[in-house]
Amino acid sequence: MAIDSEAARRGPPHLATLIILTGVSILTLNMFLPSLQHMAEDFGVEYAVVNLAVAGYLLVTGVLQIILGPLSDRYGRRPVMLVAMALFAGASLGCWLAQDIWVFLGFRLLQAAVIGGTAISRAVVRDMVSDREAAAMLGQIGMVMALAPMLGPGFGGFLDEIFGWRANFAVFTLLGVALFILVWRDLGETNTAPSATFAAQFRAYPDLLRSRRFWGYALCVAFSVGAFYAFITGAAFVGKSAFGLGPAQVGIGIGSITGGFAFGNFLSGRLATRYGLTTMMILGRVVACCGLLVGLALVALDVVTVWTYFGSVMCVGLGNGLTLPSANAGTMSVRPHLAGSASGLAGALMVVGGAALTTLTTSVLTEANGLWLLLAIMLGSALLGLAASLYVRRIDLREGPPRADASA
């Protein structure tokens, strides 16, 4: 049944709309990865130059989240999301038609505007429901969203083999147009109390930045995702050097952590309304840490197989699925009137943390130490996430649950 656009502008969006917006923003990062070598050959440049389409894109997404979140607090979620999707569609068209690598990379960086689909959708969820209900809804979104990194590269590789690498960006162009129409028709304005002016909004920022709860939630998100970044950075190296795995088999191994993440989000959708945010966060961190400790113990005992190794890593995905919906909901619940700003800042911190863990993992892994050191790096990140969640729990126990006007 067709959605009445005027009614939709006044009402909250359907959950499916938020899932699609979030999923496509993730798909845009990894769907074309199998085509990087073909793109380098087509443009006549080194592989490292084309790889800027990944590294530069990630950097810009971090910056844009800091910008788009506050803009949505000031002007509303709907207009900012519409502008972001229009930029994404136009930039995708530019990537599709580009004949020069630098023109391509310029449009590729503009494509990062699609990150609004993730950052602003989280704020929309928090606008609509309470913190626990937001955690449950974010868990439902995350469960379906996890399919994007699992299926995206395979679909992109298929498009490349049949039509060439530009077909990926043709699909992105069509998706961008479709997302703009979807937002226009179904994303009603949920920010009912936007800031009157940027000056008034800026005066409210110190209140958010001084919040110890916010930083506890945000650091929990960053370190939880950091363990995942470390794994996907080192998985191919360790898989080949320790187990002799080929690219397809490594892909299945990487899929194991994503499968665990999907199941963890499913559990969050069922449990988050019954338990507090910090309870879910701590539970997820404990699951991740225990899985990695078992994995390290098996390595120390020289009882190592592909199944035991990747099985222990799957616990990280499961733990992240339990932790992240509640931690993300927590970042936006500390100061609900700055939900967009909080979502953007937490998202940017996650990108920075992921980049740092990626760099660390790449620089220290060797064939001699890779098997245990990758698990140790992931465990260190997971333990820091646990410490952050326990810190928030300590504040809750000493000062009570968060309130919109609280100073904690």
Task: Decide if 284 is inside a domain.
Answer: yes
Same domain, yes or no: 123 and 218? no
Judgement on whether residues 96 and 15 belong to the same structural domain of the protein: yes
> Do residue 167 and residue 207 come from a single domain?
no
Buried residues in 312-336 as b, exposed as e (16+ CB within 10 A): bbbbbbbbbbbbbbbbbbbbbbbbb
Instruction: List CB contacts of 32: < 8 A, sequence separation 6 or more.
Output: 39, 53, 156, 160, 165, 168, 169
Residue whose pair of structure tokens reads 């794994």 in the numeric block: 231
- Comparing CA positions, the residue from 157, 123, 191, 184 lying closest to residue 331 is 123
Q: Is residue 404 part of a domain?
A: no
Judge contact between 185 and 52, C-beta under 8 A: no
Average of per-residue pLDDT across 228-235: 81
233 and 357 in a single domain? The answer is yes
Write out pLDDT tens, residues 97-128.
999 999 999 999 999 999 988 888 888 988 88
Domain identity same for 42 and 176? yes
- Confirm if 96 and 80 have CB atoms less than 8 A apart: no
Q: What value does the mean pLDDT take over residues 236-250?
A: 76
CATH number at residue 252: 1.20.1250.20
- By residue range, what is the domain housing residue 347? 203-399
Q: Tell me whether residue 311 is exposed, middle or buried, using C-beta atoms within 10 angstroms of its C-beta: 0 to 12, 13 to 18, 19 or more.
A: middle
Q: Is residue 197, in this structure, part of any structural domain at all?
A: no
Q: Please check whether residues 107 and 142 belong to one and the same domain.
A: yes
Mean pLDDT of 201-220: 83
Residue after which a domain boundary falls, among 190, 223, 253? 190
My answer on whether 149 and 240 are in the same domain is no
- 152/158 Cα distance (integer angstroms): 10
Residue 307 clears pLDDT 60, i.e. is over it: yes
Give how many domains the chain has, as a whole number. Answer: 2
Round to whole Å and give the CA distance between 108 and 88. 9
Q: Which of 162, 190, 218 is the last residue of a domain?
A: 190
Tell whether 118 is covered by a domain. yes
List CB contacts of 278: < 8 A, sequence separation 6 or more: 326, 330, 389, 392, 393, 396
Do 243 and 175 fall into the same domain?
no
Distances (CA, A) of 133 to 139, 191, 276: 10, 17, 10
Tell me whether residue 408 is in a domain: no
- Is 383 found in the same domain as 353? yes
Residue 16 lies in a domain: yes
Task: For residue 310, give every residue at least 6 positions away whose Cβ sits within 8 Å of its Cβ, in sequence order, or none.
Answer: 253, 256, 257
Same domain, yes or no: 149 and 213: no
Which band of pLDDT confidence, cut at 50, 70 and 90, is reported for residue 7? very low
Domain C-terminal end among 168, 190, 212: 190
Q: Let me know whether 186 and 141 are in one domain.
A: yes
Residue 5 predicted with pLDDT over 50 = no
**Are 122 and 243 found together in one domain?**
no
pTM of the predicted model as reported, rounded to 2 decimal places: 0.80
Q: Quote the pLDDT of residue 395.
A: 92
Q: What pLDDT score was predicted for residue 347?
A: 84
